Amino acid sequence: MTKFLPRFNLLLLGATLLATPVLAGQPTLKPFNADYVASYMGMEGNATMSLAPAGNGQWKYSLSIRSSLASLSQSTLFDERGGQWRPLSGTDNASVLIKKTSKRANYDWERGVATWSGDVKPDRAGPVKLQAGDLDAMLVNLAIARDASAGKPLHYRMVDEGRAKDMTYTVAGKEQITVAGKAQQATRVSRTDGNKETILWVVEGLPAPARILQRKDGGDEIDLKLKAVH
């Protein structure tokens, strides 16, 4: 993702909430809209996340974060084949003060490769060979909320930003958090990668994390807290 705000692998959030999206034989994906309170480098802002049908059996998963310092929008178009989510394309637009960047990902499953265009370095343009089960960073976020609630292993192969990367999140225990003014029991999961740490709080019944915290060099970088679901 952008340098100032890495793509949520979690992370993300990215977040969300009416029924947990899952694989074949379990409840199907359901649309949602979620609002978050966002903090980036100490600056307060707002974030929204949504999942909506895009036609032809496809879904669009989107995240937008805005503060006085920066704005970010990410989206992934995906479908489901054989019980697995498949990223089809993605966009990543960011603006920090006067600097703007725009990137696009394309996942060509017929050719079996992923490529990236826009403001990307040559060594991050691909192609990267795809494997069954590969996710992009946004879908990893959605999968964590699904799998942590179900007690499943949190192992993923992420294909994003010109690379393929195996990722494992660890369950750190249970913790009570407040979601939309109501106390909830959450499962805390985390992952450390060098000087970066991602922590997510997953509440059963919510299709994405109720809170996502990204830390770098021991300090908080991004903190997203769920405040409402529509």
pTM for the predicted model, two decimal places: 0.83
Residue 61 and residue 76 in contact, taking contact as beta carbons nearer than 8 Å: yes
Q: 7 falls in which pLDDT band (50, 70, 90)?
A: very low
Q: Which two tokens stand for residue 174?
A: 């249970």
Return the ∠ at Cα 226 (arms to 94 and 104), rounded to 5°.
Answer: 25
pLDDT at 28: 65
Could you tell me if 37 and 44 are in contact, meaning their C-beta atoms sit under 8 angstroms apart?
yes
> 55-68: per-residue pLDDT in tens?
999 999 999 988 87
Whether residue 225 is predicted with pLDDT greater than 80 in this model: the reply is yes
- Non-local (6+) Cβ contacts of 116 within 8 A are 103, 104, 105, 106, 124, 125, 126, 161, 162
Tokens 């692998």 map to which residue?
A: 9
Q: Is the pLDDT of residue 158 over 80?
A: yes
Q: With a cut of 80, say whether residue 11 has pLDDT above it.
A: no
Q: Is the pLDDT of residue 2 over 60?
A: no
Q: What is the pLDDT of residue 111?
A: 97
C-alpha distances in Å from residue 125, one per residue of 3, 86, 91, 110, 128: 16, 19, 14, 18, 9
- Which one-letter DSSP state was computed for residue 8? P
Cα-based angle 64, 220, 173 (whole degrees, multiple of 5):
95
Q: Is the pLDDT of residue 117 over 90?
A: yes
Cα angle 212, 138, 227 (rounded to 5 degrees) comes to: 40
| Cα dihedral 163, 33, 52, 3 in deg (nearest 10) | -20
Does 4 score more than 50 pLDDT? no
Q: Supply the pLDDT for residue 78.
A: 97
Better pLDDT: 89 or 99: 89
Give the tens place of pLDDT for each residue, 170-211: 998 999 998 878 899 999 999 998 999 999 998 888 776 789
